[in-house]
Amino acid sequence: MMRVHAQPFPFELDLERAALLIIDMQRDFVEPGGFGESLGNQVEPLQSIVPTVKKVLEAWRLTEKLVVHTRESHLPDLSDCPEAKLLRGNPSLRIGDLGPMGRILIRDEPGNQIVPELTPLQHEVVIDKPGKGAFYGTALHEILKQNHIRQLVVMGVTTEVCVQSTLREANDRGFDCLLVEDATASYFPEFKAATLAMVTAQAAIVGWTCTSQVLIQAISS
Ligand code: C5J
């Protein structure tokens, strides 16, 4: 056990039972010219965390503990995309349409790949998820159980959507979650701040948050 300085109180990290979970660091959300930008979002807040996510990932890889990457993606025939998601709102591009980096949110399209700086290693787990939460419609829970995981260190985008949904799903399944504050981002900085506050409120009702610096220090010691 190692004590990590965290909010709202220290997190007792048990590396033997912990996995690193990186949410949706895919080109279409993060890179200029992708789907996120085509929706009118500024991608800079998302781009700016890539070096920090990379630093934590590299430190975690040295521990040889489990790494899981996720991608929000759908099958090419959209059979795993509910109509409610497909038809929501009035966007200029819908899921499955041809966007700046291939078909939007479709598995194996260029925009659906993890950004090159964070490319998964061959032995790392990659979960393609049809929803916002990483547990919905995926084998994630089974994989974590098989690996005797009880704690998740979480990074990625966007803080208030797929990251927060995943944290809540994980919390309900009995995982202790530690979100890395400077390794998560939103197109809306105020939503990120609100999410960090919501996660840690009421004595860690959803989980803990910490900085990448204290996490790297703890796992490297
Ligand atoms: C969104 C995500 N924002 N990864 N996806 O639609 O948060």
The three-class DSSP label of residue 19 is strand
Check residue 32 and give left, alpha or beta (phi > 0: left; psi -120 to 50: alpha). Answer: beta
Ligand 1 contact via 106 beta carbon (within 6 Å): no
162 classed as catalytic: yes
In this structure, the number of other CB atoms found within 10 A of the CB of residue 58 comes to 11
* 149 within 8 A of 20, measured Cβ to Cβ: no
For 221, other C-beta atoms within 10 Å of its C-beta total 6
Share of the chain above pLDDT 90, in %: 93
| 114 phi, psi to nearest 5 deg | -65, 145
55 in active site: no
Q: Each residue of 102-111: pLDDT tens digit?
A: 999 999 999 9
For residue 213, pLDDT beyond 90: yes
The answer to whether residue 38 scores a pLDDT higher than 90 is no
| 3-state SS class at 134 | coil
Would residue 132 show up in a list of annotated catalytic residues for this protein? no
Mind listing the pLDDT tens digit for each residue in 64-100? 999 999 999 999 999 999 999 999 988 888 999 999 8
| Catalytically annotated residue among 28, 81, 129, 132 | 129
CA of 101 to the centre of ligand 1 (A): 17
Ligand 1 pocket member 162 (CB < 6 A):
yes
Q: CA 46 to CA 209: how far, in whole Å?
A: 18
Least confident range from 28-32, 91-95, 126-130, 156-160: namely: 91-95
In angstroms, the Cα distances linking 185 to 49, 62, 83, 109, 136 are: 7, 25, 28, 23, 22
pTM score, two decimals?
0.98
CB 20 within 8 A of CB 155: yes
